[in-house]
Structure 1
Amino acid sequence: MTLPITPITEDDIAQYLANTPGFFERHAELLASVTFASPHGQRAVSLHERQAEMLREKIKLLEQRVMEMVRHSGENTAIAAKMHQWARQLAGVRWAAEVPQAVEQGIRTLFDVPQVALRVWGVAPAHLNAPFTQGVSEDVRAFASSLTAPFCGPNLGFEATAWLPDAQEARSLALLPLREGAIDSAESPAFGLVVLASHDAQRFEASMGTDFLVRMAELASSALSRLQ
């Protein structure tokens, strides 16, 4: 009885070559005779040339990644320097009632944010009638306390956008809760909310990194806690 012959597949050939490293040493002439279509034209290239092209492509991709890393490093260094400058400005504010204005102005000028607004609650009696305590509903307070990270995304008509100078121009938002301690401390209720807004719909998007926004929120929280 003749057994059926199982055809050899490409996987079988690939596995054989992987398990037989001396094959091309014994058949070196194959390396020179095998050709491939070049992705950069219609001409045929040898195996060695194709490997060299692939290596050049990998090197080019690595160079692009290195350049991106250098660019991001420079951007992060610049933002860190601005954050330090902002912290110095806030620490130098003499009167507690002037801190909210210093927070807003610092964000606008140092970080180039077109519109900034904030509100705080639970303040000392001396600040109860200040502009930065007005127009805060229970819903806004509950929403701020529910945030354990900055919200970034399109303007969905949040109530807090009414605090902005020109809410109609706000196409993307970053909402930063203010609370004692770390921003992700859900056990600690928020005592305020900062609204950052831009006419650019891509300025604050859901997929953006929020590390610096977290630091911004925690620094603002520390400075504004003087109002309590």
Structure 2
Amino acid sequence: MIDDFAKEHLHGDLRVMREAMLWKLDGLGEYDVRRPLTVTGTNLLGLVKHLSTWEARYLGEVFGRPFPEPLPRWDDLAERGADLWVTERETREEIVGRCRRVWEHSDATIAALTLDSPGHVPWWPRPDVKLFTILIHLLTETSRHLGHADILREQLDGSTGTSAEYAAPQHDAAFREAHHARIERAATAAAAAFGRGDAGRTQ
């Protein structure tokens, strides 16, 4: 019974995080969902593409249940990083549609297996795993990238929140600028007080 409860709990959390990730795209135009917002090029639609690609692998081939659509080989060096951004030929509908098909396939894998079902991850140094291990890994990765998406969306329009249901109220530009300035003043004062110049940057 505890295994069934644990599996449903982990699966439920994964479902919530998946939907929150797609929610981060809502209301944005094509440029904003694709544009690089960090020096390494991190972007919202690319995060969706990345998460669905790896979920397809982890809850597909790892358990001998390959996702039925083409995926780049995980060991193809020429394709490394291609899952983190979206080309001009790929549509948002394609990326989101494939994402939802991956979820359907993954859900079937989770339903069919027990938490101690064995799998094999050839790109891990200790490749022999259980479904439990993979669910924890996917929750960690999805949560990590959802945090990235939180920051990216906030950069674009100030929107924050963990889901559509719990979206934080948006403040006007004047409020945000005043809040930002208050935190900046505190950081600058602390850097001066504790003897670390250059806005607190350590050497």
Q: Same fold, TM exceeding 0.5?
A: no
Greater percentage in helix = 2
Greater percentage in strand = 1
Relative contact order (alpha carbons < 8 A, sep ≥ 6): 1 or 2 greater? 2
Normalised by the length of structure 1, the TM-score is: 0.24
Q: State which structure, 1 or 2, has the greater radius of gyration over its C-alpha atoms.
A: 1
